[in-house]
């Protein structure tokens, strides 16, 4: 909905695969599958542990941000928004913790809800669902990485 006098940013065109950053969680350049068939977004997380801080509920968890790799671990925490029943792609319903966090893509940032689940058996560590991109992005399902592919740091080789 347009508000008179409000400047509307044009919608981003993104591919079905992109790299995003979750700055509040300390996660840079995680590969996501953009899935307009999924309502909610999900982040691979394990060792999920709720705790209280100053009277508020938080959730502490670990993430392997690299696809098919456990070499890097990010330990992080966020305020717990709620627990929600979510139906998986296999049709099973499970109660998952939900957090609210910022996502960055194409230099823009906005808040999204993320469910936390172990996605080790899935092809992507993060799924970006339609609620997260509604009003912000259009998906070109035939293209990938329209925001670019981050350069990987090369390991220095020791000369013999």
Q: How confident is the model at residue 22 (pLDDT cuts 50, 70, 90)?
A: very high
pLDDT at 19: 96
Could you tell me the pTM of the whole model? 0.85
Whether the Cβ atoms of residue 99 and residue 45 lie closer than 8 Å to each other:
no
Measured distance between the N- and C-terminal CA atoms of the chain, rounded to whole angstroms: 64
Whether the Cβ atoms of residue 17 and residue 96 lie closer than 8 Å to each other:
no
Spatial separation of the C-alpha atoms in residues 100 and 111, rounded to whole Å: 7
Angle at 59 between CA 58 and CA 61, to 5 degrees: 150
Q: What percent of the chain has pLDDT over 70?
A: 89
Q: How confident is the model at residue 70 (pLDDT cuts 50, 70, 90)?
A: confident
Q: How confident is the model at residue 123 (pLDDT cuts 50, 70, 90)?
A: confident
Token output for 123? 């092809």
Domains of the chain (ranges plus CATH)?
12-140 (2.40.70.10)
């Amino acid at each position: 909905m347009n508000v008179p006098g409000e400047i509307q940013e044009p919608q981003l065109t993104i591919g079905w695969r992109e790299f995003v950053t979750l700055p509040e969680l300390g996660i840079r350049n995680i590969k996501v599958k953009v899935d307009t068939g999924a309502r909610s977004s999900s982040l691979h997380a394990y060792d999920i542990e709720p705790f209280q801080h100053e009277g508020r509920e938080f959730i502490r968890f670990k993430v392997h941000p690299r696809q098919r790799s456990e070499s890097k671990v990010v330990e992080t925490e966020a305020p717990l928004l709620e627990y929600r029943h979510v139906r998986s792609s296999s049709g099973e319903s499970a109660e998952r913790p939900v957090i609210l966090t910022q996502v960055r893509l194409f230099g823009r940032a906005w808040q999204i809800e993320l469910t936390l689940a172990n996605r080790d058996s899935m092809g992507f560590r993060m799924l970006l669902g339609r609620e997260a991109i509604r009003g912000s992005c259009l998906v070109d399902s035939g293209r990938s990485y329209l925001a670019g592919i981050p350069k990987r740091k090369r390991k220095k080789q020791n000369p013999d």
